[in-house]
A and B are shown apart, each in its own frame.
Chain A
């Protein structure tokens, strides 16, 4: 008999287990099922940098949170409603986030003495009453999985046991009314050819988990979250790193220049290198260099040759590229540098997000060395941000920073696929003939409007010229130590970058009531939590305005005007106040910060509290 169905408008599920338990895969598959059902969603993978920390240990816990709803949502959620804990360590590290009354599904088989000890539990929490305030479902996932797989040939007991994550996925899919068909298809594609018996075992575990939900008395009801009413169109789920990679490919197509990526493996940027390496049929050259410096250098070399030169990294790699970026500023050649920010300083927390690199990308070079900076606000927005960074680089012949972070990189959301024909034309032109009055070629004779210099490619007869890191004489590009020339060139480089503001949209303000006294100014990956916080504040009857910066350098030309129109300006950031410092210095506005550097996205509820405190002041 079918169980009663309860309607919910949104749910936040967190899968947590040992690094070897396959939680990322489980979460990703649950996300795919959810996306295909038509819910809006947002995900947050949260995993340690260690590939396999000791099994059952606290540092080895890997988590994946997915927030899905029947309406438009903005964040992966502050706290889960449902926690799936595959072992005691996962319970220990995640329980503090589960509100009282929340649903807890645990693999009771894993709660043996050894695992309890590894998680520093003196007593078994499933038995000592410490979980009484939660709705606990203790399910012997391992036993049930191994039992279900009896008779599947060619699968070792260890392999059977490892399929328990698919049993859990099946159970959760049943509980929230998700079809497991996409996951079956995925398993068959992933393992079918190489190890058909593993595919069969995983599919069987998945189906057994689903059937267990239907038949067991442990779960009395099942839940339904209806599809969200999103904008019409075709969607796919996408992570930030994937969207950024597609954005670079799109920019290559839109500009007509082949893409060259120089990269060195680094968390959390490596996925871009891996993704792009698979698209050689798009005329994409990926070069895994010997180090971060060579990765940037090779991209500059490719750019000199007429490619769209890109290099990707995270903070610890970006610091090494600073010298090369300075060269690109002097050469005035296009270069896109993607900084997938992670918590620092030094090695910091490689898998955790932070916005700690803003001042580094703004100022972390010798000399007066302006670089445009563009930031993505959500996983799917990484696509548009990448196209915009490439547009500026090509049009103004300048290195451009593209900022993302570990949350955007690995997090995912549904992406309304753009119509390729509506994407911007970012084509550029190369110099083909001399531009001087005497028939000579002047490599630093600038375009009057953009101040960009001509881009003459090796192979073009008559335009042979030399560029380099030494100061250039205006127009000729010859080496110059002339004091006035250096002053002029320094100002021209600054003006060129400042002038990009004329070619950017104005800063938009979301102020539905039109009379808010508090403006929240954000940038980059905090868009979701800030927008969600503003919604929450407005639901509570207060007024608040939100503006979010895509361009950090130059700032939109109405930024000062926008800031000065409000009594209070709050700048929430995942750093100790870097944009705050910039806007205070630039506009003499007494803005205040809301700053957290926990290696996690900001919590909407906490940002809302900060806004409310300011509104009520």
Chain B
């Protein structure tokens, strides 16, 4: 079979996002990254809910389903569990995944179903034209919050780790190389992989991620690389260090006791502490894989139970089943 290229993953459908939308960059990155995975197009499935991001499957020349608001993780669970031969991806947004679909998201993560969940976070409801979302900051003025939002926002990565996610990462829509690295790691991870992608909505919440999207100096992105000390800022002048109470603080790049990243750390505490490092509180934003650990995968466990049942009791026989229990015969 000829090797696939990005073009093979494009569909004939006109892409209908607003000009300048971060989704274009994510789509382009995904289309050029997919051939690398070496998975047949027909074995790849994209499932989405509702929202701007949810149009994604229409533009990927694979199998796909644009489903209903918030339910994509549930639908994808049914598919992944039934068809372990498929590579199943969920594309969702901050409203879809964290508001109406919050329940499905956390349960998919805790079960560790073999799904790759990509959350395009733009901190706003775009398709409904500009209401605040569960990731909008307190006080944010939007169409539905003229005096400022009263809601304390979710931190999607903290939530995912709290929900027992085995793979948690963050990428930026315009950072094609970084995103490809994260997606590759997610694809290679067996189990649920959760990736937050900072995505810009130029219409309703422009420049929400400008500090890392347009970080020309490279001072705001904090690259997480397992085994390496976590330094950032101009020429690595700043670094992260973990206090004895677990809180991660900023110190000078040449201070002692600089935190070394360990995505496979046994407990989720380190990854969680890293998710609390934000631009507002620390002057930097971690990007990359926060957590990546192995745990039994729901689909595999179910397949094992089916195999065990058949091994112990033999392949089910319908006539035998109907005649099981107490029977009597009338002649």
Contact = CB atoms under 8 A, between A and B. Distances in A.
Question: Are A and B associated in one complex?
Answer: yes
Interface of A: 32, 35-36, 38, 182, 227, 230-237, 246, 249-250, 253, 258, 260, 262, 279-283, 285, 287, 289-291, 293-294, 297-307, 309, 323-324, 326-327, 331, 417-418, 420, 458-470, 478-479
A464 B323 contact: no
Contacts of B322: 236, 246, 250, 417-418, 420
Interface in B155-170: none
26 contacts: A38-B328, A227-B330, A236-B326, A249-B321, A260-B78, A279-B321, A280-B308, A281-B309, A283-B306, A293-B104, A294-B71, A301-B74, A301-B79, A302-B82, A306-B82, A307-B82, A324-B68, A324-B71, A458-B42, A458-B83, A459-B85, A461-B42, A464-B63, A466-B58, A467-B65, A469-B67
Nearest to A456: B63
Contacts of B309: 279-281
A237 B322 CA distance: 11
B327 A469 contact: no
B82 A258 contact: yes
B202 to A, nearest CB: 23
A293 B74 contact: yes
A336 to B, nearest CB: 14
Contacts of B128: none
A291 B321 contact: no
B75 A459 contact: no
B76 interface: yes
Contact of B318 (A233, A250, A324, A459): A250
B83 A297 contact: no
Count chain A CB atoms within 10 A of each CB in B13, B47, B67, B107 and give the residue with the most. B67
B269 to A, nearest CB: 26
Interface string B61-89: 11111111001001111111111011000
B67 A294 contact: no
B315 A466 contact: no
A263 B125 CA distance: 31
A466 B66 contact: yes
B330 A233 contact: yes
A418 B295 CA distance: 45
Chain B: interface residue count, which band?
Answer: 35 or more
Contacts of A327: 67-68
Contacts of B329: 233-235
Contacts of B323: 234, 236, 417
Contacts of A469: 50, 66-68
Count chain A CB atoms within 10 A of each CB in B83, B103, B106 and give the residue with the most. B83
B65 A304 contact: yes
A182 B326 CA distance: 9
B300 to A, nearest CB: 13
B326 A297 contact: no
A327 B74 CA distance: 13
A235 B327 contact: yes
Contacts of A323: 68, 71
B11 interface: yes
B319 A420 contact: yes
B164 to A, nearest CB: 13
A331 to B, nearest CB: 7
Contacts of B65: 304, 331, 466-468
A459 B82 contact: no
Nearest to A277: B305
Contact of A299 (B78, B318, B319): B78
Contacts of B308: 280
B225 interface: no
The SS class assigned to the A binding surface is mixed
A354 to B, nearest CB: 29
A130 to B, nearest CB: 41
B43 A459 contact: yes
B78 A309 contact: yes
Given A293-B104, A303-B78, 6 more contacts: A231-B330, A246-B322, A249-B321, A250-B318, A289-B107, A464-B42
B305 to A, nearest CB: 6
B189 interface: no
A464 B326 contact: no
B104 A294 contact: yes
A490 B79 CA distance: 28
A281 B313 CA distance: 7
A331 B322 CA distance: 34
Contact of A301 (B61, B78, B325, B330): B78
A405 B86 CA distance: 38
Count chain B CB atoms within 10 A of each CB in A249, A290, A327 and give the residue with the most. A290
A462 B318 CA distance: 36
A287 B64 contact: no
Interface string B97-126: 000000110110000000000000000000
A417 B327 contact: yes
Contacts of B330: 38, 227, 230-233, 235
A306 B41 CA distance: 18
B82 A260 contact: yes
Contacts of B80: 301
Interface string B157-191: 00000000000000000000000000000000000
A329 to B, nearest CB: 12
A459 B79 CA distance: 12
B40 interface: yes
Counting from the closest, the 7 A-B pairs by CB-CB distance are: A301-B78, A468-B66, A298-B78, A282-B316, A297-B74, A280-B309, A294-B74
Count chain A CB atoms within 10 A of each CB in B42, B58, B329, B330 and give the residue with the most. B330
Contacts of B321: 246, 249, 279, 282
A302 B75 CA distance: 8
Given A279-B321, A459-B83, A464-B61, A300 B75 contact: yes
Contacts of A299: 78
B18 to A, nearest CB: 17
B331 interface: yes
B47 A249 contact: no
Contacts of A297: 67-68, 71, 74-75, 77-78, 104
B64 A466 contact: yes
Nearest to B315: A281
Contacts of B67: 297, 300, 327, 468-469
Contacts of A287: 77-78, 81
B45 interface: yes
A38 B330 CA distance: 8
A285 B306 contact: yes
A295 to B, nearest CB: 8
A367 to B, nearest CB: 13
A234 B328 contact: yes
Nearest to A307: B82
B310 interface: yes
Contact of B47 (A282, A301, A303, A326): A301
A285 B312 CA distance: 17
A294 B107 contact: yes
Nearest to B48: A468
A36 B329 CA distance: 9
B314 interface: yes
A302 to B, nearest CB: 4
A298 B111 CA distance: 14
